[in-house]
Amino acid sequence: MNEENELESKNVDKLASKISNIINNHVYPDGIPGIQNRIHDHFKEIIISSEILLKEVQRIETERQDAFNKKKEKITNTELKFSDDQTIESEEFSNFLTELTYNVVNTMKKFRSLYTVNLSNVLIRSLFLNLFSIFDSFLGDLLREIYKKKPELIEKINQNFSVKDLREFESIDIIINQLINKDIEQILRESYIEQFSIIGNKFNIKLSEFKNWPIFVEISQRRNLIMHTNGRVTSQYLENCKNNKCTLIDDIKINDTLHISKEYLLNSARILQEVTFKLSITLWRKIFPSELNISDKYANNHLFSLLTEEDYILAVELGEFMIKQTKFNSDADKRIILINYCIALKNLNRTDEMNIHLNSVDWSSSILDFKLAVELLKDNKSEFLKYMEKIGTKGEYLDEESYKEWPLFRHIRNNEEFQKKYKQIFNKDLEEEIKQEASDIIATESFQKPNSVA
């Protein structure tokens, strides 16, 4: 019986491991898409952690404040009581003063060692510095992947090895890996401004010409202040920010102290998400032009994920970046990117900008799927429903799942006319379908006993 249970346990473990590997490979595929997905998730972890941890820290700080106030009130209200005709013995008065002094000193010690420690500030600083630790790791992984996919770039690495060093290497592959590692380590030792300059020169491309470059420079320079000067402003900070046209606090001067607020932390995480995406896509399209189809597909999937997460601000920044690309794998890919970008604009109530972009394209010869999307974005419901009926159960891109999953349809899913049209086409109740799928996701199902050894 024990052997049978052990065998069953092994089979379950194998199945669980297999499922885990499939999911992991889907979420983090090989190459640049996997690197980019991983960095996006790491930054999201910081954002989510900050929300959860700061709430707990605020609770602790409130409790600590209350405890201190109670202690202070007790000391303040302490009295030596005696009647008018009562004489005070010197020893009694001395004991009173001693106890009072002890309580004051003891309370102030606790105040200094506990209350004056700003837990929120410590946490936010730690999370802020961790953002750049994640960024450094991403940059190293990205460069290694580029060298791996294009080995001829290794010939341009300028690194020297002594004869003694070469004798210690067991193979040429180890030497190559050492060359790559040294080159990456040398880049990562430089300032973030210099890193972009070195990488840009290495691949003959401008990497700092995007709208939020000055913001990236400022947060990277503030990172240096937090790390090395406890936030005190230096001449180097001011000079680098000035040279890169950063917007600074009015009247800021040397030795002023800069802090990291929760809002600044969250904005920094978003900026780094933006920078890592733009850097990945720019290098990918430049160095591997034959992979334009994969790059466009990844960009669209990433925009779709951001729309699903309702991160419309980041989706707009990345969508704006993508529609400005000069080359696309196909006109269809370009139009899908544009539509996803416009979905983000609409959700931020930037409808004027959305309409400008939609009207800049001739949709007359487009497939019905695109025409449907444009009419819905423009709130032409009657035209949208007509295209929905024309497309039927399956279009070029749209199918039954699209109506339930694509953020384009988020705001119309509760519309009665839309639900009727959906039921007419698919012979299903949309609301019940969505509820059932949500129930399936939440439900926990146990593993079935395997029939045989895998």
For residue 62, what pLDDT band results from cuts at 50, 70 and 90? confident
pTM of this prediction?
Answer: 0.79
- What mean pLDDT do residues 287-305 have? 94
Q: Which residue has the tokens 């202040």?
A: 225
What is the b/e burial string over 364-399, where b = at least 16 CB atoms within 10 angstroms of the residue's CB? eebebbbbbbbbbbbeeeeebbbbbeebeeebebbb
Q: Give the whole-angstrom CA distance, residue 111 versus residue 116.
A: 6
Give the C-alpha separation, 454 to 450, whole Å: 8
Per residue in 337-383, pLDDT tens? 999 999 999 999 999 999 999 999 999 999 999 999 999 999 999 99
Percent of the chain with pLDDT over 70: 75
Average pLDDT, rounded, for the chain: 83
- Report the pLDDT value the prediction gives residue 81, as an integer from 0 to 100: 57
- Residue 302, phi then psi, degrees to nearest 5: -70, -40
Q: How confident is the model at residue 58 (pLDDT cuts 50, 70, 90)?
A: confident
- Calculate mean pLDDT across residues 59-64: 75
**Predicted local confidence at residue 166, as pLDDT:** 53
C-alpha of 229 from chain center: 27
Comparing C-alpha atoms, which of 153, 139, 156 is closest to residue 190?
139
Q: What is the pLDDT of residue 80?
A: 52
